[in-house]
Amino acid sequence: MKKRRVLVMGSAILLAFLFSIWLNQPDLDLDPIAPANLASATTEQVRAGEYLVRAGNCAGCHSASGGAPFAGGKAIETPFGAVYSSNLTPHDDTGLGRWTDADFYRAMRHGRSKDDRWLSPTFPYTSYTNLTRADSDAMFAWLRALPPVDQAQPPPTLRPPYELQIATRVWRALYFRPAKDADIAAMDRGQYLVEGLGHCAACHTARGALGGPRSANAWMGGEIIGLGWDALPLAGIVDTGDFSDLELASLLKTGVNSRQAVSGPMAEVVFHSLQHLKDDDIAAIVSYLRRLPKAEAPAAPKVPQVSADERAALRKRGAVVYGEHCADCHGDDGEGQIRKYPALAGSRLVTAASATNALRLTLDGGFPPSTDGNPFPYGMPPFSHQLSRPDIAAVLTYIRSEWGNDAPAVSVVEVERR
Amino acid sequence: MPAPDHPASPARLSLAVLLISLFFAAPVAAQEAVADMADRLKACAACHGDEGRTVGDTYYPSIAGKPARYLYAQLENFRDGRRQHTVMAAMLRTLSDRYLGEIARYYAAQPHAKQPVFEGATPEQLAIGERLTVAGDASRNIPPCMDCHGEALTGVQPSIPGLRGLPTRYLDAQISAWKQGQRRAATPDCMGKIARSLTAAEITAISAWLASRPYAEDAKPADSLPGELPIDCGGVLP
């Protein structure tokens, strides 16, 4: 009896030991971080840092609406509860005031805070790990030049056990490998911007049940958890007509091109970040997107099935609704108007497997971003209080199946769920 | 007789000239007007009506003819979270200050809506509403509405809005929002201070009285205040 207990205890200890080695594996082969450079930053560094902070859209999370810029406090909703962004201003007690450039680089590269805490992966260090030390130092130099704001980071409101450091540890063991110096050095500019600073994968690669990126679906878009929007696939965009290099570059830089406009969270990315990038960098991004290998599309969310008869009835009613409310701007043939109203015929957004984005836009409307290239965009009216739910289902079914579009019908139940 | 909406009518032209000249003094940069604004702003027309005019039984306020600086401040407040409205915040999230200035300028230049008077007020509400609006209540530090919003309550250029021609539900909701801290203006927030001194019944009475008064078709915001501001207001520019 006693022997058996010793055996059980012994194997439990051995398992825990192996588990901790497994958990710590990614951290055992880290490249060492060079010590802090305490000399004051050069003007060039600060200027470069401003550009990089924009390219990384740090403000997207670290500036709360109506709050002081970069003072954090914005709630980031996850399926596990909310995490609040940290204060990046150089305040000694609540911001980065006591941090060094080495601390900052370690946070970016390894996802660890100055006090050794494992940072929540809502901070996309899975991408930022690809940053160079020089860029990280420049970003840090620019942040140091901000006015310090005294605003403590609110504690996360995660459900147990996700608030525990061990949960983050397990997540990291599953999903995070710090980049190697050699891998970073081998990246071209486009890859560096897309896979590093731009952290495009945060939305454009679907996440699994534990909130980790699903590598089988890399770059194929899918639901952006917590936002109620879908990201479109970035892989497999074929270089033709609407998706030529010039059209894609215009979409990223100005928010619109001949036949498309960005909307929802991507409108914010263009507004806060991409419109400020140099043309060379935009071109590098487009060129890298072309090289992304197509993967398996993530499973579309389950929606109520629509019978052939229901579909025909929805299409018939949809044609009437379209003529009354949509055709003025989007055209009788869904052709849109160049740089004003997006085309619906052949639109990736309209024909996506999931109707989420088309439904959101129809219900809530919205504007493409104001950018230097398109300062006064044309907006889409909200139809949530103008059209009945059945009429919205009808018109969506119609635009998803007309003019050569071929996407599943949208049921009234799916609209009512919103 | 020229059609009232004829773009080249002399009245329209002088109004435009007046507004443009006012704009040179306003912080919203005066530049050549952006073409095609009605088409660009179809999203706004869905609730606020063509050219910003809503009439009759609706919650959405008519925004045509309101002072430009006031409209600009509200657009900014919605975008930056000082005023709460989910749809407005989502609409404005990615619009630049410059575009907000153009939007404010466009709606300020439109003739205001002709509103039917509200007929649902009780005599008691009308009495309370009139007393507070015209005389205020010095014992509670509530100044008369007219001291700030103009003798005709049609607003004062460039930043104080008119209180006429607005749905009673909207007026009631806004003053209540101020009372509860859901709507804020730049500090010192004078309207917040006043609204907190009012009871819910008084707010309803004031809203009912304001919406019950006939509203002259040619009413415009006054060019200047009747006297000194009776209270410090961060949102009011000289």
Label each residue of A356-414 as H, E or C: HHHHHHHHHCECCCCECCECCCCCECCCCCCCCHHHHHHHHHHHCCCCCCCCCCCCHHH
The CB density around residue A323, as the number of other CB atoms within 10 Å, is 13
pLDDT computed for residue B72 by the predictor: 96
Number of domains in chain B: 2
Report the residue from B42, B79, B81 with minimal CB separation from A379: B42
Same domain, B207 and B154: yes
Decide if B223 is inside a domain.
Answer: no
Same domain, B101 and B130: no
Please tell me whether residues B60 and B143 are part of one structural domain: no
Vertex B89 angle, CA A364 and A272, to 5°: 100
**Cβ proximity of A347 and A247 under 8 Å:** no
Does residue B170 fall inside a structural domain? yes
The beta-carbon neighbor of A382 closest among B87, B89, B92 is: B87
d(CA A54, CA A269): 10
Host domain of residue B103: 10-108
Whether B40 maps to a domain, the answer reads: yes
In chain A, residues with a C-beta closer than 8 Å to the C-beta of B91 are: 365-367, 379, 382
Cβ-defined contact of A379 to B98 (cutoff 8 Å): no
**B interface test, pick of A370, A374, A383 with most B CB neighbours within 10 Å:** A370
The answer to whether position B200 is within a domain reads yes
**Percent of chain B residues past pLDDT 90, beyond the cut:** 52
CATH code (residue B57):
1.10.760.10
The whole-angstrom distance between residue A231's C-alpha and the CA centroid of its chain comes to 8
Contact A376 B94 (CB under 8 A): no
The pLDDT score that the predictor gives to residue B25 is 40
In this prediction, residue B6 has a pLDDT band, given cuts at 50, 70 and 90, of: very low
Name every residue in A having a CB less than 8 A away from some CB of B. 64-66, 255, 267-268, 270-271, 329, 340, 364-370, 375-383, 385-386
Residue B164 has pLDDT above 80, yes or no: yes
Q: Which residue of B has its CA nearest to A380?
A: B43
Task: Tell me which residue in A66, A267, A378 faces B94 most closely, judged by beta carbons.
Answer: A267
**Residue in B173, B166, B160, B155 with CA at minimum distance from that of residue B213:** B166
Residue B24 has what pLDDT?
Answer: 41
Each residue's pLDDT tens digit, A62-73: 999 888 999 999
CA distance A402 to chain B (A): 24
User: Given pLDDT bands bounded at 50, 70 and 90, which one contains residue A21?
Assistant: confident
Q: So what's the pLDDT on residue A277?
A: 98
Q: Residues with Cβ < 8 Å from B12, sequence gap 6 or more? A: B6, B111
Do B22 and B87 lie in one domain? The reply is yes
Range of lowest pLDDT (A154-158, A189-193, A235-239, A260-264): A235-239
pLDDT at A274 over 90: yes
Domains of chain A, residue spans: 24-180, 201-291, 308-416
Partner A, chain B 80-99, Cβ-Cβ below 8 Å: 80-82, 87, 89-96, 98-99
B134 & B183 share domain = yes
pLDDT in tens, B195-231: 999 999 999 999 999 999 888 777 888 998 888 888 8
Give chain B positions within 8 Å (CB) of A64.
81
Does B115 fall in a domain? no
Q: State what percent of residues in chain A have pLDDT above 90.
A: 80
Alpha carbons B9 and A404: distance in angstroms, whole number: 48
B80 and B152 share a domain?
no
Predicted confidence at residue B18, as pLDDT, reads 43
Q: Can you give the pLDDT at residue B22?
A: 42
In a domain, B114, yes or no: no
Looking at residue B238, what is its pLDDT? Answer: 59
Enumerate the residues of chain B whose CB falls inside 8 A of the CB of residue A255: 94
User: What is the rounded distance in angstroms from the CA atom of residue A353 to the CA atom of residue A217?
Assistant: 15
* Same domain, yes or no: B97 and B129: no
Please name every residue paired with B142 in a beta bridge, in sequence order, or none if there are none: B137
Give the pLDDT score at B226: 81
Same domain, B141 and B172: yes
Could you count the other beta carbons within 10 Å of the beta carbon of residue A268? 17
* B235 domain-assigned: no
Residue B222, domain member (yes or no) = no
Whether residue B67 is preceded by a cis peptide bond, meaning omega within 30 degrees of 0, is: no
A308-416 folds as Cytochrome Bc1 Complex; Chain D, domain 2 (1.10.760)
Query: Is residue B194 exposed (0-12), middle (13-18) or buried (19+ Cβ within 10 Å)?
Result: buried
